[in-house]
Structure 1
Amino acid sequence: MQVLPPGQWRPAAEAHRAAAEQRTAAHRERRARGEAHPVWDFLFTYYPFSPAKLAQWHPGAGVALLEAPEYADRKFYRTVATEHGPAVTLDEEAFLAARGTGLGFTLELLERTAARRAEFGCFGMHEWAMVYRTGPDDVRHSAAGLRLGHEGTDEVVESHRIKCSHFDAFRFFTPEAAPRNELSPSREGMRSMEQPGCLHAGMDLYKWAMKLSPAAPSSLVLDCFDLACDIRELDMRASPYDLRDWGFKPVPVETPEGKAEYVAAQRGFSERGQELRARLRQALAPLGRLSSERAAPSRPRART
């Protein structure tokens, strides 16, 4: 166990808080004014984690904090004796009792996704399929409108192969678009279908890291949040929505030039996502092994 003195962990906690608050300042200001945003609100609504939760700092599993009374009564923490004095650390038993099933699912999902070949031929058609054959009152981001209009949007969908592997994108397809998808993603089949080229699989790394906090270190959570923000911007710039009034230049995936721009960015995000998957797996692997040991049936004692 790594033991951190207050002169080391308190500056880290403060730096994390400041970094998180800087990233969420605009959102918090808009929320105070009652203003919505068609791009950035998603990171706080679809992912149900508040800016305050993102700003909370946790060192992660295997780290103990000296002189940290404010952590002593927090959920999933306990006080332990160290050679430097009492310290507060993750209560592994309590965490596994509450989150062990989710931990096992997430570790398997991360491992299987990382091992799968990245696919880059979707061109962001999932967003187009979500408004396929809708009327003016059915557009999910009605404040933005459709860049090519309804007929033009439908023509783009009908002229492309749709091969969406991500269930949480597919489930928002319109009834007319769903049969056009070449795959049949499901909640139960996530571990068999997630692939590292998928934008939504990359964004979801933030969800998995946050769900496994405080076992996952907050520095890693924030890196996952940054990736989610960058991916979200591309996802919306490549969508059928006209977001130019919001400052977002379109990536016209209906054109060869737009496709090339999209795939180039997608490849970069895939590489970043793979790095974060590896870091998440490394940070959580000791807990995963401990969980497996707890779940393994004990062997009967041999008779003498």
Structure 2
Amino acid sequence: MDQVPGSPKEPQDVRGDEGLPGCHRHPDRPTGIRCTRCDQPICPECMISASVGFQCPDCVRNGAGTGHAPQAAAPRTIAGGTIAADPRLITKILLGINAALFIAVLATGGEMSELVDRLALLGLDQYGYQPVGVAAGEWYRLLTAMFLHQQIPHFAFNMLSLWWLGPPLEAALGRLRFTALYLLAGLGGSALSYLLAAQGQPSLGASGAIFGLLGATAVLLRRLNYDMKPVLILLGINLAFTFLWPHIAWQAHVGGLVVGAAVAFGMVHAPRERRTLMHVATCAVAFLAVIAVVCVRTLQLVG
């Protein structure tokens, strides 16, 4: 989503199949949001939070905002985050971490890699009797399992999804909020998998976090009054594969989806006056829910 410098002299008001006007800086992107100053349609990448509604970069740059210099100097995303020069930075870092660990796994034996034994999500031994892994106090596995992959198709599908879903969300939420969303969704997937799946075999992959991004995208599109059909169709297809394809940890997918959608809802619907407080509270509640689920399951296994 590279930003087009400047704006055309005569903004286009093209309309997509859903009848929404196109952003005046990105005419190919239908949007239901307009700048509160110039009334031109603006897409999520162009939205800058104002005291009332949203403004376009041109109005902010020209000092046509609310008249307060601090607001013009510090434009915000729809969720209140700082607008970054590179809206893909965190997505690139996450891709890099996943790629580095994937290469390390392949270099140390693939499916027989010792890294998988040490970092994958695990709660019981291979016979299903002895508590190990998370149940033995290795809680870090809830996080490290999110970045592990063993097979090329699994890795490729998750990374393509991350590259497709990540940048628009990162641009809309801001770097810090996007990072929190990704990690919490991944932890939510790990927690539900730990709770419901038979953890005699290692579980790993970024799928829980990816489903969290998918849920967050649906919430964001609904908030912006965008056409929901494409994302709902994509979500339906992915859920169908989740439950019909063998050897897929559906628990991780559902857990990530629920947590990602819930966190995104709290971020994009928080009242402007208490936005930061609501965001912190939303993330804290999600994190505490993960901790509670893990504690309950651990007590079941060691009790």
Instruction: Name the TM tier (shorter chain).
Output: under 0.3
Higher relative contact order (CA 8 A, sep 6+): 1
Greater fraction of residues in strand = 1
Larger of the two Rg values belongs to structure: 1
TM-score w.r.t. structure 1 length?
0.26
